[in-house]
């Protein structure tokens, strides 16, 4: 689950201890495994409310973890009523699962955040329902490439702007736009921590990455313009021009030699060959 960009100055960034990192590996792996588990159920006729129920039962009863979105209430928001976010077609993020059946050709992002032993793992993935349009499939592919191009810039000594610049360049080169109001975020014992990870920017700008930082990269890429609006439910974000939107997300650890993707799972689509 991404966070609203906050223009206020950054607070302190926590560098995780080896013990904390091990707990985050577990939480991250569990988040990825929920996305693997739910994939066969994402098909025409199923509702996102049913996908939410299935994920909730799997997280609580099988994995023994807590679904972080359920009743999550940052300042100014009503509690989020479900255990996962499900964003369909022109929904950018934070879609609230409901009784609308998925249709052939839909694209849907499922966003999972687990809490295990007090630490969070956060990941999201795009699913194509049946056979989608060429544009929809291309948007999902390019957004996945944007995620991994951003990840490829993560190493101690790099700058946060390097991540955003790589994502923005690839999205715009392909004729798409980057949502700017929401961003990735630090994560650990808290759902949302510093730093804020923008998905646009300039190389060499922003804070320096240090070994032990943990944060999400979760680009939201629109097929049309970047402008967004909020639905009356107070959570669901949509594209203002009703164009399709896609998002992928992983949780990362900055290491001395590069990075570790904490939310990888057996069913996760692999890193693109060209990255």
Q: Is 201 helix (H, G, I), strand (E, B) or coil?
A: coil
> Any alpha helices (H) in the chain, and if so which ranges?
18-38, 48-57, 134-151, 160-173
**Spatial separation of the C-alpha atoms in residues 151 and 260, rounded to whole Å:** 9
**Spatial separation of the C-alpha atoms in residues 201 and 252, rounded to whole Å:** 19
Determine how many CB atoms are found less than 10 A away from the CB of residue 202.
12
26, 29, 31, 59 from 63: Cα distances, Å: 11, 11, 10, 5
Predicted confidence pLDDT, tens digits, the chain (275 residues): 887 777 545 568 999 999 999 999 999 999 999 999 999 999 999 999 999 999 999 999 999 999 999 999 998 899 999 999 999 999 999 999 999 999 999 999 999 999 999 999 999 999 999 999 999 999 999 999 999 999 999 999 999 999 999 999 999 999 999 999 999 999 999 999 999 999 999 999 999 999 999 999 999 999 999 999 999 999 999 999 999 999 999 999 999 999 999 999 999 999 999 99
- At 89 the pLDDT is 98
- At 246 the pLDDT is 98
Residue extents of the structural domains in the chain: 14-261
What pTM did the predictor assign? 0.96
- At 76 the pLDDT is 87
Strands 182-186, 245-247: pairing kind: unpaired
- What lies within 8 Å, CB to CB, of 191 at 6+ separation is 1, 68, 72, 113, 120, 122
The domain 14-261 is classified under which CATH number: 3.40.50.1110, 3.30.70.1520, 3.90.230.10, 3.30.465.10? 3.90.230.10
The sign one gets for the Cα dihedral 123, 124, 125, 127 is positive
**Spatial separation of the C-alpha atoms in residues 220 and 226, rounded to whole Å:** 9
Strands 119-128, 107-116: pairing kind: antiparallel
Residues 205-222 have pLDDT tens digits of 999 999 999 999 999 999
Residues 73-122 have pLDDT tens digits of 998 899 999 999 999 999 999 999 999 999 999 999 999 999 999 999 99
Closest CA to 112 of 46, 47, 65: 65
- At 10 the pLDDT is 53
- At 7 the pLDDT is 54
């Amino acid at each position: 689950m991404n966070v609203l960009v906050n223009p206020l100055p950054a607070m302190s960034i926590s560098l995780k201890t080896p013990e904390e990192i091990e707990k985050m590996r577990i939480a991250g792996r569990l988040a990825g495994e929920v996305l693997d588990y739910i994939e066969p159920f994402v098909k025409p006729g199923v509702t996102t409310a049913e996908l939410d129920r299935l994920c909730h039962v799997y997280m609580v009863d099988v994995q023994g973890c807590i679904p972080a979105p359920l009743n999550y209430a940052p300042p100014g928001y009503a509690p989020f009523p479900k255990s996962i976010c499900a964003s369909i077609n022109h929904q950018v993020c934070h879609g609230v699962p409901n009784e609308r059946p998925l249709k052939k050709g839909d694209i849907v992002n499922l966003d999972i955040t687990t809490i295990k032993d007090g630490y969070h793992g956060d990941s999201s993935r795009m699913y194509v329902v049946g056979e989608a349009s060429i544009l929809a499939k291309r948007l999902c592919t390019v957004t996945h490439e944007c995620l991994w191009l951003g990840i490829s810039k993560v190493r101690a000594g790099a700058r946060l702007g390097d991540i955003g610049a790589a994502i923005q360049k690839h999205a715009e080169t392909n004729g798409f736009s980057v949502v700017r109001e929401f961003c990735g975020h630090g994560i650990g014992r808290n759902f949302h921590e510093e730093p804020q990870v923008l998905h646009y920017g300039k190389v060499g700008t922003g804070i320096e990455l240090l070994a032990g930082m943990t944060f999400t990269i979760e680009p939201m890429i629109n097929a049309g313009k970047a402008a967004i609006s909020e639905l009356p439910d107070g959570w669901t974000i949509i594209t203002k021009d009703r164009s399709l939107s896609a998002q992928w997300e992983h949780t990362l650890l900055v290491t001395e030699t590069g990075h570790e993707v904490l939310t990888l799972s057996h069913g996760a689509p692999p890193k693109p060959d060209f990255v």
